[in-house]
Amino acid sequence: MAAITAEEVRAFHKNPVSGRLDVDLPARFKAGDLIVTRNINPPGHTRLPRYARAKQGRIDRDHGVYHLADARAHGIEAEPQHCYSVRFSARELWGPEAPKNDALYIDLWEDYMDPA
């Protein structure tokens, strides 16, 4: 397999393909909302990391409406939903030994979260 060229990379970034859907779907959360992630254990891969399950975070931004990638990866048709950038403190994820001011942002779909 040949490596892609710098020109091919530039062309992709000029016309990126987005999975964002142009549908009018009310958002369940808004920036600033506290959420808690669900403690799910589905078979196979999920985009909710195990270390972030049953953890509290804060919605940073709404990326818009997308298909749930986990469902699509398994050939399952799922209802579109909002995907959010969620901020988690390092201590929430890894305990009191984690640096006090560090944080991690994870992009998560609505199905992964409940209001805190």
Domain assignment present for 38: yes
What is residue 16's predicted lDDT score, i.e. its pLDDT? 60
Which residues constitute the domain of residue 62?
A: 26-115
What is residue 100's predicted lDDT score, i.e. its pLDDT? 96
Q: Map residue 30 onto helix, strand or coil.
A: coil
**pLDDT tens per residue across span 17-72:** 668 899 999 999 999 999 999 999 888 778 899 999 999 999 999 999 998 877 76
Residues in contact with 109: Cβ distance below 8 Å, sequence separation at least 6, in sequence order: 47, 66, 68, 69, 70, 81, 82, 83, 84
In the chain, % of residues over pLDDT 70: 91
Q: How far apart are CA 25 and CA 116, in angstroms?
A: 22
Q: How far apart are CA 29 and CA 58, in angstroms?
A: 10
Residues in contact with 66: Cβ distance below 8 Å, sequence separation at least 6, in sequence order: 19, 20, 21, 80, 81, 82, 83, 109
Q: How many domains does the chain have?
A: 1
Domain assignment present for 96: yes
Residue (of 79, 80, 46) closest to 66 by Cα position: 80
Find the CATH number of the domain harbouring 86: 2.30.30.50
Q: Map residue 16 onto helix, strand or coil.
A: coil
Residue (of 71, 70, 59) closest to 28 by Cα position: 59
